[in-house]
């Protein structure tokens, strides 16, 4: 079981800094979290996900290393990991 960081914009920078140093981290960008710069997570080999509906509503294009997921996949991640909520 890893740590699943749910990250939105208001506390996003703090969440990403913590996740970067957590080798068991997985990060899900939710709502305005899709606007955050996540390159440091990619360099640290942290898995990053974004909710498809949030990406579509905001009309953003994300880097290829971010996996776009639906709500079913999001629910699976929540069940499989310890949730740390910054959303």
Mean pLDDT value of segment 53-74: 98
16, 40 Cβ separation under 8 angstroms: yes
The domains of the chain, with CATH numbers, are 3-86 (3.40.1260.10)
**pTM for the complete prediction?**
0.95
* pLDDT at residue 64 tops 90: yes
Residue 34, number of CB atoms within 10 A of its CB: 24
* pLDDT at residue 19 tops 90: yes
Mean pLDDT value of segment 11-23: 96
Please tell me the predicted confidence (pLDDT) of residue 1.
83
Please tell me the predicted confidence (pLDDT) of residue 34.
98
Please tell me the predicted confidence (pLDDT) of residue 61.
97
């Amino acid at each position: 079981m890893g740590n699943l960081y749910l990250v939105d914009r208001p506390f996003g920078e703090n969440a990403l800094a913590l996740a970067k140093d957590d080798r068991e981290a997985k990060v899900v960008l939710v709502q305005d979290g899709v606007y955050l710069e996540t390159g440091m997570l990619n360099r640290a080999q942290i898995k990053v996900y974004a909710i498809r509906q949030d990406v579509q509503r905001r009309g953003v294009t994300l880097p290829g290393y971010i996996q776009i997921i639906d709500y079913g996949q999001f629910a699976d991640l929540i069940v499989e990991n310890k949730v740390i909520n910054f959303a």
